[in-house]
Chains A and B, each alone.
Chain A
């Protein structure tokens, strides 16, 4: 069974940093691209970032470009999101999502974790 378990969320002050993690199991992790998708309270879904199977290609939403960095460790079956210069508008539930193929282009999300909540407030 495919499982994605996010961790690392919490309360952080504006301007500070936070690192999210996603532990994957039940599939061959390095055969697939991985993504982060967020959902602000009561709002819709927003794709945040994606990374190809070998970390060769990454992509970011304009809203986080230059502040967030996605990475993965295939040996540990783990995905990460380093978030810096956090803003109140970054407050959301952050989902880890599995892509359906190696690359991020043409990749939809066929499995989702339950999310980790990031609260940005002073």
Chain B
């Protein structure tokens, strides 16, 4: 089973600042099958990024994903008020187990 470790656990930033979230895998994620989701309180998760760097439909271009192998990054170039939420990475290349990271909370400083 591939274990995903997200860091930091909490990121305290101000609107307009840049956010950099890390997701590290215990072994290589095949074909960059890595996705990122955003979850706000009381809501279901929403897909942001798939294939490590492709934005899902309707996702603003301030969200970007990068990385390969075992190290992946989600960057939010300029935080908007609605971006304060919890972010999860997920690998989907290891069958049949699909695993999530523990999440990073982006909170208002």
Contact = CB atoms under 8 A, between A and B. Distances in A.
Q: Do A and B truly interact?
A: yes
Contacts of A114: 44
A45 B100 contact: yes
Given A106-B33, A106-B93, A47 B100 contact: yes
Is the contact region of chain B dominated by helix, strand, or loop, or is it mixed? loop
A59 interface: yes
B95 A59 contact: yes
Contacts, number: 70
B95 A104 contact: yes
A26 interface: no
Contacts of A61: 97
A17 interface: no
A103 to B, nearest CB: 9
A47 B102 contact: no
Contacts of B101: 44
Interface in A60-83: 60-62
Contacts of A60: 96
A82 B46 CA distance: 25
Given A100-B50, A115-B44, A44 B92 contact: no
B22 interface: no
Interface of A: 35, 37, 44-47, 50, 57-62, 95, 100, 104-115
19 contacts: A45-B37, A45-B39, A47-B90, A47-B97, A47-B98, A60-B96, A61-B97, A62-B97, A95-B44, A105-B93, A105-B95, A106-B33, A106-B95, A107-B92, A108-B33, A108-B47, A108-B90, A109-B37, A113-B44
Given A59-B95, A59-B97, 14 more contacts: A44-B100, A44-B101, A45-B39, A47-B100, A59-B96, A59-B98, A62-B1, A104-B96, A104-B98, A105-B95, A106-B31, A108-B47, A109-B37, A110-B47
